[in-house]
């Protein structure tokens, strides 16, 4: 069984203070990199899901400024479920992690991601330095998890089933990229940031400017990733047009920045971008998009 999806996310360093559970943070920092742990974080007294990463190397500022794509899939069979997350930082690396859907912390964090409209990514360095990003969940985001949330809540996946799938995935990871160890998987303190709290105060955050030569490619990647996510949820034609409405300014920005030749190259590299551009062209010409087939 494979149910896939993604959430293209524009991320920015945060000014507000974030609150986590102190013991959870200490336990996570003590883990070897690369790894991931799940928990909850408080921002302005509101709780959100938190996905904490410790990578082998820091994410360069110009890379983190571009945003990322959170791919997700539900793996397993008719008898068990394993959640897969893929963190694709554009122009850097894609990191994979597998989580047992039967784990109470996993279920609580996934439910929060779906229900609360946002979540946080924390990149914690070896000395405890932290870069925090907020990701807002749009209507079409996390479609694969939303569609399977009841199955995730009922999951009875055993440790043996989970570990066997991890071994199988390591042999043929998809997408290609390093695996993150799932850490602090039974640390219940992770879900209680107000108990023994520790504050993270990002200092003087600033969004680095994107190099002009790279910006069209970054915009194309974001647009194409959103198209893929919507299409994976079965959304087509006018539904796709509506689902992409909030990204229309980015498409206009891409048209302003890219030359016709660059735009043709980007459409060839990103079929989702090509399909979206053809859809807009069709709508602009006054043709019913359901009456024609857009080449794939």
Q: Which residue has the higher pLDDT, 178 or 287?
A: 178
CA distances from 66 to 60, 214, 244 (A): 10, 10, 19
Q: Residue 261, Cβ neighbours under 10 Å: how many? A: 8
pLDDT tens-digit map of 38-59 = 999 998 889 999 999 998 777 7
Q: Please give the Cα distance from 24 to 193 (Å, whole number).
A: 9
Output the CA angle 89-93-95, nearest 5 degrees.
Answer: 90
- CA–chain centroid gap for 128, Å, is 23
Percentage of the chain beyond pLDDT 90 is 39
The mean pLDDT value for 121-144 works out to 73
With 70 as the cut, is the pLDDT of residue 129 above it? Answer: no
Q: How confident is the model at residue 128 (pLDDT cuts 50, 70, 90)?
A: low
Q: Which residue has the higher pLDDT, 222 or 76?
A: 76
- Provide φ and ψ at 26, rounded to 5°: -65, -40
The total number of residues shown for the chain amounts to: 296
HEC assignment per residue over 73-91: EEEECCCCEEEEEEEEECC
Q: How confident is the model at residue 116 (pLDDT cuts 50, 70, 90)?
A: confident
Bridge partners (DSSP) listed for residue 8: 69
Q: Minimal CA–CA distance to 294: which of 208, 224, 223, 236?
A: 236
Q: Which residue has the higher pLDDT, 278 or 202?
A: 278
Q: Is the dihedral of CA 294, 3, 35, 152 positive or negative?
A: positive
pLDDT tens-digit map of 234-243 = 888 878 887 7
How is the chain split into domains, by residue range? 2-200, 215-287
3-state secondary structure of 200: strand
| Residue whose entry in the numeric block shows the structure tokens 């924390």 | 122
pLDDT tens-digit map of 64-87 = 666 677 889 999 999 999 999 998
Q: 2-9 and 35-43: which strand pairing? A: unpaired
The mean pLDDT value for 167-173 works out to 95
Answer whether the bond into residue 34 is a cis peptide, omega within 30°: yes
């Amino acid at each position: 069984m494979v149910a896939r999806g993604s959430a293209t996310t524009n991320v920015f360093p945060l000014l507000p203070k974030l609150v986590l559970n102190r013991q959870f943070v200490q336990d996570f920092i003590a883990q070897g990199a690369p790894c991931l742990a799940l928990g909850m974080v408080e921002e302005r007294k509101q709780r959100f899901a938190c996905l904490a990463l410790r990578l082998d190397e820091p994410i360069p500022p110009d890379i983190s400024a571009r945003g990322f794509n959170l791919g997700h899939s539900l793996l397993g069979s008719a008898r068990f479920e394993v959640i897969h997350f893929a963190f694709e930082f554009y122009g850097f690396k894609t990191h994979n992690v597998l989580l047992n859907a039967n784990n109470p912390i996993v279920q609580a964090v996934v439910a929060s991601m779906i229900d609360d409209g946002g979540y946080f990514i924390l990149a914690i360095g070896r000395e405890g330095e932290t870069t925090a990003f907020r990701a807002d969940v749009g209507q079409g985001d996390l479609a694969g998890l939303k569609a399977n949330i009841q199955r995730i809540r009922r999951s009875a996946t055993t440790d043996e089933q989970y570990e066997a799938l991890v071994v199988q995935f390591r042999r043929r990871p998809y997408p290609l990229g390093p695996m993150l160890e799932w850490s602090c998987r039974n640390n219940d303190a992770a879900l209680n940031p107000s108990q023994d709290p520790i504050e993270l105060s990002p200092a003087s955050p600033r969004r680095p400017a994107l190099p002009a030569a790279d910006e069209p490619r970054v915009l194309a990647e974001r647009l194409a990733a959103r198209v893929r996510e919507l299409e994976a949820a079965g959304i087509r034609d006018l539904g796709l047009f509506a689902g992409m409405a909030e990204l229309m300014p980015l498409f206009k920005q891409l048209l302003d920045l890219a030359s016709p030749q660059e735009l043709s190259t980007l459409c060839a590299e990103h079929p989702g971008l090509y399909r979206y551009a053809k859809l807009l062209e069709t709508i602009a010409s006054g043709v019913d998009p359901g009456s024609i087939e857009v080449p794939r």
